[in-house]
Chains A and B, each alone.
With several copies, the nearest count.
Chain A
Amino acid sequence: MIGSNSIAITPDIVRQHGLTLEEFGRIEDLLGRELNFTELGIFSVMWSEHCSYKSSRYYLKKLPTTGPRVLQGPGENAGVVDIGDGIAAVFKIESHNHPSFIEPRQGAATGVGGILRDIFTMGARPIALMNSLRFGASDHPRTRFLVNGVVEGISNYGNCTGVPTVGGEIYFDSCYNGNILVNVFCLGLIPSDKIFLGNASGVGNPVIYFGSKTGRDGIHGASMASSEFDESSEEKRPTVQVGDPFAEKLLIEACLELMKEDWVVGIQDMGAAGLTCSTFEMAGRAGTGIDLELSKVPMREAGMTPYETLLSESQERMLVVVRKGMEKEALALFDKWDLDSGVVGEVTDKPVVRIFDNGNPVVNLPVELVVDGALDLKRPTKKPEYLKEVDHVKLDSILEPTRGETILKDLLASPNITNKHWVYEQYDSMVRLNTLGLPGSDAAVLRVKGSKKALALSVDCNSRYCYLDPFRGAQIAVAECARNIACSGGEPIGLTNCLNFGNPENPEIMWQFEQAVSGMGEACKFFDIPVVSGNVSLYNETLGEAIYPTPTVAVVGLLEDRSYHTTQWFKEDGDLIGLIGLTMEEFGGSEYLKIIYDRVEGKPPRLDLHLAKSVNKLCLELIQQKLLTSAHDCSEGGLAIALAESCMSHPLNPKGATLGLDSTVRNDALLFGESQSRILISLSAKNRLAVEEKAKAMEVPFTVIGNVGGDALVVNVNGKEFIREEISSLKQLWLGALETYVG
């Protein structure tokens, strides 16, 4: 049993709770009295990095969060963006990195559970999940186990709750050997005038608990997520929770049914820091207080202390405030869905949370001090030393190749570029009949029932770029996401991010963080994409080895008409192939350097935001005018990989292509360099003139570079054959490689 109030609080105990003695002193000073042990537990979780954002809040203010479509920005369970026709999209991305490293299956599963709750808490029906995964090197001994566990966990939880997993990304790099990343995204739809918030308003209104029972799960999970790993993390193991996706499914349906009632006042899920967090935050948002009686909480285990009950992170639980007098109706509804529930408290006038255990007072704390009291830390920053070593490519040892086939094949079979069907076929990507664009093209596309619109979703981050230049790397992440959306026929309307970094107490890490957030902010402002929600995950390191900075972004795009939906694969023999954008002689941070020469160096590719925006605009307008048959973003592996993918990825009929490129840049840079803001398109020959004119009018570089047809990919550079390879043999490599690493 942990946490009897008779335990004396020593400096050691304070530190074990993740608070500095300074913070502890500040709390007692402001409170004007001593804390008891349960209260210490509350501050421990609420002032943890995970809940208080004390290292990051100052910087996050730089992100643009408003716009004409934004109905709810950061601060609530999820962001909300208006998509017209009386419908709004609710979305957010969250990390579940540390638990997934300790227990991949359950860690990833409960991550999905958590993000789903953030969405349906607002009254939205979740309609799509995505995930962004980072594992250690593909030959690291633990990678296979971790990948299998994480993918199975996501698959089992998402599939069982009936929410399709429609896209994502997966990367392997040794910087994640000791600290994997599992970021999960969820999007839901809601009538734009029926958004529910986590407010405990209305003095005298009952506070109702519902969902699964509370057990001793994950006590201290939130503070675990806020401290780096060391050998003793092994000891923290039993704090991993087991998810119950069946309970979550019932919770979704019960919540959505509940929210049809006009007597629901405010609702919030119990995520990190469980009952404590939802109680204090709901009171905090409404400027009220709450009286809570713990003996009314449905319990799975006997003899839990108030400390345990308050800090438990048992999954699949919610807290709702309803209008006084409607308790019976609410409880009957939960009963219909076989959920446990109980009236556990009441909204009060004074902004204080008082918690009782069988009538005995155990906690009495002012809401504001707990929720907002942690001071923003302006941690010191310092440009990292490593950058001096890696910031240029030593080109002299990299000879210009005479043929490209071997490089192409090595890249196609490399873990980061190879096809990901081994992952996404384990996810139900189709349930609920909205997924027009299945995994396997640039962005996932979902129709919006009840309108002619559709939504496009993409999640991206090249963390190697971010390691080499976090500012530009973060900009590129935003730009790439926006480009994926454009290729699929949509226009970006909102963004959510998950900022995964190392230990913020290290000034070099804090510098990466500052740079990345600034870069992201600048790109978002330029593209006019509001950031409506997000998540910060710090302390992603093991024994002092930090991960690459990984500011993952997910962009939501809107297709005004679902007929704009465009896929990446070539469709018709005889179609012309064109390239929008410019190719420069750039190698920095490329997959080419990494796979062929095992080097991580150079500046990431240049990004001209202005060009990036006009490239996307051109692509989208061409799509809207029905001038294109396919569009595909050039990213890792460059033009050659984009070409090969456009040839191979048709679900039934792969196509060949013949290209004739004229260029002054080295042929390896031309085909495998990763210059930004390029889109590979195909079009019917009759539309060539229209496309060329449009590009000219918009002052965007555009060249026709070849045509679709045949059984091989043939690339001639300046009149000389550089690549000739059968599509069928490329496809075999590309489809089979991932399984050889992780299957």
Chain B
Amino acid sequence: MKAKIYITFKDGVLDPQGKAVHHALKDLGYNEVSGIQMGKYLELTMDGVSREEAEIRVTEMCEKLFANTVIESYRFTIEPEE
């Protein structure tokens, strides 16, 4: 299975990186960009697990390790490997 995980700051939490990058985009003339959020992206390859198992395991990993749930939220998709 392949899990794709996206981690971003929760709504209302300051995203200092996003702020600085937005600033840079404006300086470069990309004024059409009105908002930006920066986050982390993870791709996991998992062997010998069903989709259901993978879902449970990935949720656990996100809670324990990948996301800092105090300030970040996560979502993920799980697909069989191509």
Q: Of all chain A residues, which has the CB nearest B23?
A: A338
Asked whether B68 is an interface residue with its Cβ less than 8 Å from the other chain, the reply is yes
- B-side residues, CB < 8 A to A, are 9-10, 12-16, 19-20, 23, 68-71
Whole-angstrom distance between the alpha carbons of A211 and B68 in the complex?
Answer: 26
Q: Contacts A102-B70, A103-B68, A103-B70 known; A238 to B23 CB distance under 8 Å?
A: no
Besides A106-B71, A242-B14, A242-B71, 9 more A-B contacts (Cβ < 8 Å) are A103-B71, A105-B68, A212-B14, A215-B14, A216-B12, A217-B12, A238-B13, A314-B14, A315-B14
Q: In the assembled complex, which residues on chain B have CB atoms less than 8 Å from the CB atom of A245? A: 16
What is the CA–CA distance of A575 and B33 in the complex, to the nearest angstrom? 59
Residues of chain A contacted by B10 (CB below 8 angstroms): 238
Whether B19 lies near A242 (C-beta < 8 A) is no
Minimum CB–CB distance from B15 to chain A (whole Å) comes to: 8
Of the candidates A105, A238, A241, the one whose C-beta lies within 8 Å of that of B14 is: A241
7 contacts between A and B (CB under 8 A): A103-B71, A215-B12, A216-B12, A238-B12, A238-B70, A246-B20, A247-B16
Q: Is the CB of A238 within 8 A of B16?
A: no
Closest to A217 in B: B14
B71 adjacent to A246 (CB under 8 Å)? no
* B10, B23, B68, most chain A CB atoms within 10 A: B68
Which residues of the other chain, A, contact B9 by a CB distance below 8 angstroms? 242
Q: CA of A300 to CA of B9 in the docked complex: distance in angstroms?
A: 14
Give Cα A338–Cα B23 distance, bound, in whole angstroms.
9
Over the window 100-126 of chain A, the binary record of Cβ atoms lying under 8 Å from chain B Cβ atoms (1 yes, 0 no) is: 001101100000000000000000000
* A240 contacts chain B at the CB level, 8 A cutoff: yes
| Cβ B71 vs Cβ A240 within 8 A | yes
CB distance from A56 to the nearest CB of B (A): 29
Q: Least Cβ distance of A104 to chain B in Å?
A: 9
Q: How far is the CB of A499 from chain B (nearest CB, A)?
A: 27
Most buried by A among B9, B10, B23, B70: B70
A518 to B70, CA, bound (A): 39
State in angstroms the CA–CA spacing of A314 and B12 once bound together: 11
Query: Does A237 interact with chain B (Cβ within 8 Å)?
Result: yes
- Smallest Cβ distance from A61 to chain B, in angstroms? 38
Cα(A165)–Cα(B62), bound, Å: 33
CB–CB A238/B71 < 8 A = yes
CA A301 – CA B11 in complex, angstroms? 10
Q: How far is the CA of A103 from the CA of B71 in the complex (A)?
A: 8
* Residues in A lying within 8 Å of B, measured CB to CB: 102-103, 105-106, 212, 215-217, 237-238, 240-247, 300-301, 314-315, 338
Inter-chain CA distance A246–B13, complex, in Å, is 16
Instruction: Point out the residues of chain A lying under 8 angstroms from B13, CB to CB.
Output: 217, 238, 242
Kindly list chain A residues whose C-beta atoms are within 8 Å of the C-beta of B16: 242-247
- When chains A and B are docked, how far (Å) is the Cα of A325 from the Cα of B14? 33
Q: Which residues of B lie under 8 Å from residue A237 when comparing CB positions?
A: 69-70
- How many angstroms from the CA of A245 to the CA of B14 in the assembled complex? 12
User: How far apart are the CA atoms of A247 and B20 in the complex, in Å?
Assistant: 9
A624 to chain B, nearest CB (A): 47
Residue of B nearest to A237 (CB): B70
Residues from chain A with Cβ under 8 Å of B19 in the complex: 244
- The residues of B that contact A338 with a CB separation of less than 8 Å are 23
Q: Considering the chains assembled together, what is the distance between the CA atoms of A245 and B12 in angstroms?
A: 18
Neighbouring B residues of A301 by C-beta, 8 Å: 12
Q: In the complex, what residues of A have CB within 8 A of residue B23's CB?
A: 338
Chain B residues with CB below 8 A from A240, complex form:
70-71
- The complex places the Cα of A238 from the Cα of B11 at a distance, in Å, of 10
A13, B63: Cα distance in complex, Å: 33
For the complex, what is the distance from the CA of A238 to the CA of B14, rounded to whole Å? 11
Determine the residue in chain B with the shortest Cβ distance to A300.
Answer: B14
Which single residue of chain A is at the shortest CB-CB distance from B12? A216
A239 nearest CB neighbor, chain B only:
B70
Q: Nearest chain-A residue to B16 (Cβ)?
A: A244
Q: CA separation between A244 and B14, bound complex, in Å? A: 8
User: Measured between C-beta atoms, what is the minimum distance from B45 to chain A in Å?
Assistant: 14
Give CA–CA (A581, B19) in the complex, Å.
Answer: 52
Query: Quick one: which of B15, B68, B69, B71 has the most chain A CB within 10 A?
Result: B71
Contacts of B20 in A (CB 8 A): 246
Residue of B nearest to A212 (CB): B14
A240 to B12 alpha-carbon distance, docked (Å): 11
- Which residues of chain B come closer than 8 Å to A246, judged between CB atoms? 16, 20
Closest Cβ of chain B to A105, distance in Å, is 8
A243 CA / B19 CA spacing, docked (Å): 12
Q: Closest 10 A-B residue pairs measured CB to CB?
A: A244-B16, A103-B70, A242-B14, A237-B70, A216-B12, A240-B70, A242-B13, A215-B14, A242-B71, A102-B70
Q: How far is the CB of B8 from chain A (nearest CB, A)?
A: 12
Cβ–Cβ < 8 Å partners of A241 in chain B: 14
Residues on the A chain within 8 Å of B71, using CB: 103, 106, 238, 240, 242
A106 — which chain B residues lie within 8 A by C-beta? 70-71
Q: Which residues of the partner chain B approach A243 to less than 8 Å between Cβ atoms?
A: 16
Q: How far is the CB of B39 from chain A (nearest CB, A)?
A: 13
Q: Closest chain A residue to B68 by CB distance? A: A103
Shortest beta-carbon distance, B19 to chain A, in Å? 7
Which residues from A are CB-within-8-Å of B14? 212, 215, 217, 241-242, 244, 300, 314-315
Query: Which residue in chain B gives the minimum CB-CB distance to A244?
Result: B16
- Cα A300 to Cα B13 in complex, Å, equals 10
Chain B residues contacting A315 (CB-CB under 8 Å) are 14
For A243, give the chain B residue with the smallest CB separation: B16
A32 to chain B, nearest CB (A): 37
Q: How many Å from the CB of A341 to the closest CB on chain B? A: 15
Q: In the docked arrangement, what's the CA distance between A399 and B52, Å?
A: 60
A300 partner residues in chain B, CB cutoff 8 A: 14
A338, B27: Cα distance in complex, Å: 12
Chain A residue at minimum C-beta to C-beta distance from B10: A238
Q: Look across to chain A and name the residue whose beta carbon is closest to the beta carbon of B13.
A: A242
Q: In the bound complex, what is the Cα–Cα distance between A240 and B71 (angstroms)?
A: 7
Give min CB distance, A557 to chain B, whole Å.
Answer: 36
How far does the alpha carbon of A247 sit from the alpha carbon of B23 in the complex, in Å? 12
A631 to nearest B CB, angstroms? 41
Alpha-carbon distance between A338 and B20 when the two chains are bound, in angstroms: 10
B70 contact set on A, CB distance < 8 A: 102-103, 106, 237-238, 240
The answer for the CA separation of A103 and B72 in the assembled complex, in Å, is 11
Q: How far, in angstroms, from A217 to B12 measured CA to CA in the complex?
A: 7
Which of A238, A242, A247 has most chain B Cβ within 10 Å? A242
Could you tell me the distance in whole angstroms from the C-beta of A511 to the nearest C-beta in chain B? Answer: 35
Q: Which residues of A contact B15 (CB under 8 A)?
A: 242
Q: Considering the chains assembled together, what is the distance between the CA atoms of A237 and B9 in angstroms?
A: 13
A413–B76 Cα distance when bound, in Å, is 43
Complex: how many Å from CA A102 to CA B14?
17
Q: Min CB distance, B73 to chain A, in Å? A: 11
Measured CA separation A457–B9 after assembly (Å): 38
B65 closest partner in A (C-beta): A145
A315 CA to B9 CA, complexed, in Å: 16
Q: Which residues of B contact A238 (CB under 8 A)?
A: 10, 12-13, 70-71
With A and B bound together, what is the CA distance between A727 and B12 in angstroms?
Answer: 43
Give CA–CA (A242, B16) in the complex, Å.
8
- Tell me, rounded to whole Å, the shortest Cβ–Cβ distance linking A165 to chain B: 20
CA distance A247 to B16 in the complex (A): 8
Q: How far is the CA of A240 from the CA of B14 in the complex (A)?
A: 10
